A and B are shown apart, each in its own frame.
Chain A
Amino acid sequence: MLILLCIAALVVAGLVSLDTGRDGVILLFLGGILGALFLYFQYGFASGWRQLITHGDTRPIGYHFLLAGLCSLVFLPYHYLGLGAFGSIAPISISLIIGSFIFGIGMQLANGCGSGVLFSYGGGSARMVFALPGFVFGSVLGSLALPPVLAWGALNPVAIGIPQSLLGTLLINFILIFGLMGVFFLIAYKKGRSLSVKWLVGTAIIAIICSLVFIISGHPWGITFGFTVWGGKLALLAGMPIDQAEFWQWSGPALALKQSVFADVSSLMDFGMIIGAGLLACISSSFAKQPWPPRRQLLAAVIGGILMGIGARLAFGCNIGAFIAGVSSGSLHGWLWAIFALIGSWIGIKMRPFFGFQDR
């Protein structure tokens, strides 16, 4: 498997260089590093929300706000000074609320979110063999649902900050993000829970790579749009006229559907994550060592994947593309995403025992 993955990595890098040149290969490489890092640190968002809800452990969510805070140190100045890269903004809409809520349920059923599904799949997880196709299928459904649901009610994106004051905007966002991180870490400290140096280091390294991706690609890292493109292309291959749907006639999705998948930044990063996690799992001899999970959990993985796919499209992304990218870009949608994904996670955790999960 290691040899197969090495050959695949070289072939993909070659094809990417033909399609998008040096920057594409660099992004594929950075995606690979992220995949290996996420697998090594087991950097899960879904489990972080679950730790918070079931055990009152505020450390994982604190690490995630640390990640958003570190990214914001790069994203916000770049965005507001017009240095060539732009933060993640999105409308404040009913679709955002519904989508993030659905996503929260889905990530608890599938036992992983967008990044979790990818690095676990690359690492040989049997569960994610079922969750990933569900995610791709769900995101196509979500692409069809987004335009009508957006019409139910939406406001233009809201940037958190003080108009005409760059310093004020930066300060408000830094205080909000790092302040909340501090609160979470303080609560953990008062409960006698110490911070993990490994996770702090992992968060810092991931933040550096996220910043590099932001500077090179011009946008914050996002995962789920790639799944939508893959599903759209497969639907076209199957003869479905998906390109006639309203979502696929918007200029960005239309271009992504038409041109090579290696030109889509999100897809590139996703391929990199799968390959990077796969290589690390093979080197550490942990690739696909686990047996099949119980059938009910595999069913939960499919349902969770579909819910995440629909939710990610309605809510403009997942933990990475909406929560981390939105919060670190000073966009209100990122904060709202987190609140409603937390509520959805609570429901999802209540449903886990029905699918045979012992830990809730």
Chain B
Amino acid sequence: MSISPRNIQLILFCILFFLLAIDHLTSPTTKNLAAPADGADACAPCGAPCPQ
């Protein structure tokens, strides 16, 4: 590949931080940290409900 890993990393870091800034500006926040396991019906770390 002609582009070095270092340059690809630089480009990806810039894209990542641009997307983060966009998400921050366009998304609401409850001002609280949130984990899916906090959901009322959560039975797993990803928030899946209990099977039974």
Contacts and interface: CB of A to CB of B under 8 A. Distances in A.
Interface of A: 1, 4-5, 8, 11-12, 15, 18-21, 23-24, 27, 86, 88-91, 93, 124-126, 129, 146-147, 150, 154-157, 217-220, 222, 225, 228, 233-234, 247, 250-253, 255-256, 258-266, 268, 271, 278, 287-288, 290-292, 313, 316-317, 321-322, 325
Interface range on chain B: under 10, 10 to 19, 20 to 34, or 35 or more? 35 or more
Contacts of B33: 20, 23-24, 27, 217-218, 263, 265, 268
The 4 closest A-B pairs by CB, nearest first: A252-B47, A252-B36, A252-B39, A251-B39
A33 B39 CA distance: 28
B20 A12 contact: yes
Contacts of A23: 33
A234 B18 CA distance: 13
A19 B35 contact: no
A219 B45 contact: yes
A192 to B, nearest CB: 39
Interface string B18-52: 01110110011111111111111111111111111
B41 A250 contact: yes
B28 A260 contact: yes
Contact of A90 (B9, B12, B44): B44
A317 B47 CA distance: 12
A150 B20 CA distance: 32
A124 B5 contact: yes
Contacts of B32: 20, 263
Contacts of B5: 124-126, 129, 288, 290-292
A261 B13 CA distance: 16
B39 to A, nearest CB: 4
Of A89, A90, A252, A255, chain B has the most CB atoms within 10 Å of the CB of A252
Given A263-B33, A316-B44, A255 B39 contact: yes
B51 A252 contact: no
A250 B51 contact: no
Interface of B: 1, 4-6, 8-10, 12-13, 17, 19-21, 23-24, 27-52
Given A88-B45, A89-B44, A313-B46, A259 B30 contact: yes
A146 B19 CA distance: 27
Given A225-B45, A252-B38, A91 B51 contact: yes
A250 B17 CA distance: 28
Nearest to B41: A251
Of B9, B23, B44, B46, chain A has the most CB atoms within 10 Å of the CB of B46
B34 A21 contact: no
Contacts of A146: 46, 48
Contact of A263 (B1, B17, B29): B29
Contact of A259 (B1, B4, B8, B27): B27
Given A225-B45, A261-B23, A11 B29 contact: no
14 contacts: A4-B10, A19-B24, A21-B31, A90-B44, A91-B50, A155-B52, A217-B33, A218-B33, A225-B35, A251-B42, A255-B34, A259-B27, A259-B29, A322-B45
A88 B43 CA distance: 9
Given A20-B31, A265-B35, A124 B45 contact: no
Nearest to B38: A252
B46 to A, nearest CB: 6
A264 to B, nearest CB: 6
Contacts of B47: 250-253
Contacts of B17: 8, 11-12
A255 B46 CA distance: 12
